[in-house]
Structure 1
Amino acid sequence: MRIFIVKLQSSQILLVLIQGTLQKLSKGGFIHQSQGVVSQVLSIENLFLFVNSNYLHLLHINIKAHTILLVQPSSNPESRTYSDYESVNECMEGVCRIYEEHLKRRNPNTPTITYDISQLFDFVDQLSDLSCLVYQKSTNTYAPYNKDWIKEKIYILLRQAAGHEM
């Protein structure tokens, strides 16, 4: 089942596109029928539960989850820094800005700096440590995520940004 969030308003999901059908999300969820299979979509804040006769799927969407970025550029423990952001996407934009600042320092006389995602990912990989702590409201804790997770989220963010520019 392919699910796309179509419209957000004040961190609330209003519309969801499921297998080509636009669904309005009410407070309790909605029922979706496709090819004779009835699915029930239940929602509680940013937690979605998809139930049908074939499977049960749990999807957690962190729209506005406080995120702490931990960065250690070199093997020197004194190089450790952290930044905090209001959402995962803002944090991923912050990682891109860190790379852009790195490029500006290395190329101070270049007026316009361009890069592709593979260069950004190489930069991420060469950092001694890069990780995120994402707040989980349901448990009132922070969940840790590694470089691979960060690269996946950056890829999704940049893909979405490229789609909006078309």
Structure 2
Amino acid sequence: MLATLITRFSQLLFGACVLGLSIAAVKWQVFGSPPATSKYNAFAGACGLLVSLTGIAAVFIDAIPAIVMAGIDALASIFFLAGGIAVAVGLSGVHCGMSEAELSNESQNFLINGGKYHGGYGIGSESDLVGRCRQMEADAAFLFLGFVASAAAAALCYVGSRRGSGGLKHSAV
């Protein structure tokens, strides 16, 4: 039960971080609509929060079978992984720094430049650009950590369901 609670609270923490960082990324969009990646990551973070809260409740209430919770956790882990891969691919070739070449790459990246309008970008200052870049790197890191926590929770639930206990109260390591 302790291992299950640790994975659940890790899911909760990582889901909250992803949701907050992704909403901030959506808000800094000046021109056009925010990138689908940022909006999807906000969804993945909210989903991670919901799944973790459901999992915490399932530890204390036997109404949800462990195998069902394992499936829900597996789905959440897929959401986190897909978001992490999307951000990693979107940031490929971009290094967060203040050199001229790095700033040029950052300013042209659709995830961090705030949108493009008639050749201009929605960038406040160079330090804003570097901050956005680092924020997107953190978002990717928390998405991958959310994947690990959700996959671990799914594994613990699956092991608990195989031991014959229907719920999570007395299951999983």
TM-score, length of structure 1 as denominator length: 0.24
TM-score, length of structure 2 as denominator length: 0.23
Higher strand share: 1
Higher helix share: 2
